[in-house]
Amino acid sequence: MGDGAPDQVSEFEREGLLEGLADEEREARIDLLRQLVEVGVSMDDLKRAVAEDRLAMLPIEMVFTRECKYTLRDAMEASGLDDDFVRRDFLALGLPHPAEDEVLYTEEDVESFRAVKQVLDAGLPAERMLELARIVGRAAAQSSEAVLTTFVRQFLRAGDTERDVGLRLAAVADALMPQLGPLMETPTRLHMREIVRREVIGRAERMEGVLPGSREVGVCFADLVSFTQLSESTSTEELGEVTGLLELHASEIAEPPVRLIKLIGDAAMLVSPDVPPLVDATARLVQHVDGDGRLPQIRAGVAAGPALNRGGDWYGRSVNLASRLTGAANPGAIIATQEVVTAAGAAYAWDPLPARRLKGIEREVDVFQLR
């Protein structure tokens, strides 16, 4: 492919868009620039993208913005939301507050603004709505990054030019856009259905109007042994692969009623309303990690007792106790409290260990190790 119109190439050169490029890389850059100019990308946007080394991402960015017709002010006026709430909502969602003149929203986006206003008008306090926005924002950011990273890794080729990457990813995104809604919405709906099926609303909760409140659960923390030393001698990419493998194993063993709540660096947190399934899942996690030659050994601590669910996370003494127990376990071992041993029943064999004094726990804890 040639260099294109000489006057346009000269303009690209004057603006510094071809600096340091030669041969195929230069031709590919010119071709991509010409295509972007033809669809309306300004010279300032091109210069900014080149300076930030993200020119290859412009085509896919345009796929996500081509239906946009409204600014934030337009969306606020159409929905009736006020500026103070919208600013707090963007902070809660983890999104930057856009400039007044940025055209960023589609018809569907404006409908979502209206839906928020309707929920608020129905009586949901703004603080509750913002609490929900924080949860949704974290989940959406994680899901979006996972989806994009998966497709980028799948469709990158060795030796790709910016044009190759940009146009290929844009084509993939264009084909997948209609599927993104069901891809994201269906798992959420199915998870909600399973949670509804599992939840039991007790009399006290009905009287107090809170679900879920403090309730009896089993809590497990499992962390990789010697992760600190590993992080000091391993590249960031390799370390990411290690934590990714831990997440994969933890996700695979977390079958209802056991839920994977979060991963904190080298540790996974599991919660279950029933203790026996949690013990089974923890044992499987230790076995899976032990059988994976790419990971260091893992150890786990399990506690049971009342805990409070807030924002999708769990809090309380039993949560703190499980976390502290994990640090006291030997590599490959699962240790637990007397409450776990009692709730697990006779199907499990435990060996008593010397009572432990754990940081942040007010008294010595009787500890047992699963055989």
Burial class (CB in 10 A: 0-12, 13-18, 19+), 23: exposed
pLDDT at 290: 92
Give the per-residue pLDDT at 2: 45
Nearest-angstrom CA–CA distance, 103 and 95: 15
Residue, of 194 and 71, whose pLDDT is higher:
71
User: What integer pLDDT is reported at residue 226 of this predicted model?
Assistant: 79
Over residues 50-65, mean pLDDT? 88
129-138, 199-208, 244-253, 303-312: the lowest-pLDDT one: 199-208
pLDDT of residue 247: 86
Average pLDDT over residues 326-343: 96
List the beta bridge partners of residue 221.
Answer: 269, 301
Residue-wise pLDDT for 185-211, tens only, equals 777 776 666 666 666 666 665 666 655
Q: Cα separation of 234 and 295, whole Å?
A: 12
CA distance 300 to 330: 9
Mean pLDDT of 342-361: 93
Q: What is the average per-residue pLDDT within 54-59?
A: 89
Q: According to the model, what pLDDT value does residue 163 have?
A: 92
Mean pLDDT over 48-57 rounds to 89
What does the pLDDT read at residue 211?
55
pLDDT at 166 over 80: yes
What stretch of H or E contains 42?
A: none
List C-alpha distances in Å: 144 to 105, 140, 141, 178, 290: 18, 6, 5, 15, 31
Instruction: Express as a percent the part of the chain with pLDDT over 90.
Output: 47
Give the type of residue at 300. A
pLDDT for the residue 29: 94
pLDDT tens digits, one per residue of 18-32: 999 999 999 999 999
Give the CATH superfamily of 210-370: Nucleotide cyclase, GGDEF domain (3.30.70.1230)
* Domain assignments of the chain as residue spans, ordered by start: 6-53, 72-198, 210-370
Instruction: Of 68-77, 120-129, 222-231, 351-360, give the lowest mean pLDDT range.
Output: 222-231
Measured CA to CA, the distance from residue 26 to residue 356 in angstroms comes to 66
Return the CA Rg of the chain. 26
pLDDT computed for residue 286 by the predictor: 96
pLDDT for residue 36 is more than 80: yes
* pLDDT greater than 90 at residue 275: yes
Residue 311: pLDDT over 70: no
In b/e form, how buried is each residue of 81-100, taking b as 16+ CB within 10 angstroms? beeebbeebbebbeeeeeee
Per-residue pLDDT at 340 exceeds 90: yes
Predicted pLDDT of residue 1: 39
Flag whether pLDDT at 123 surpasses 90. yes
Q: Is the pLDDT of residue 347 over 80?
A: yes
Q: What is the pLDDT of residue 271?
A: 94
Residue 34 has a pLDDT of 95
Mean of pLDDT values over 265-277: 92
Top-ranked range on mean pLDDT: pick from 49-53, 95-99, 130-134, 351-355: 351-355
pLDDT of residue 74: 96
Cα distances from 211 to residues 111, 133, 215, 304, 310, in angstroms, run 29, 18, 10, 19, 10
- Which pLDDT belongs to residue 147? 76
> Model pTM?
0.62
Average pLDDT of the chain is 86
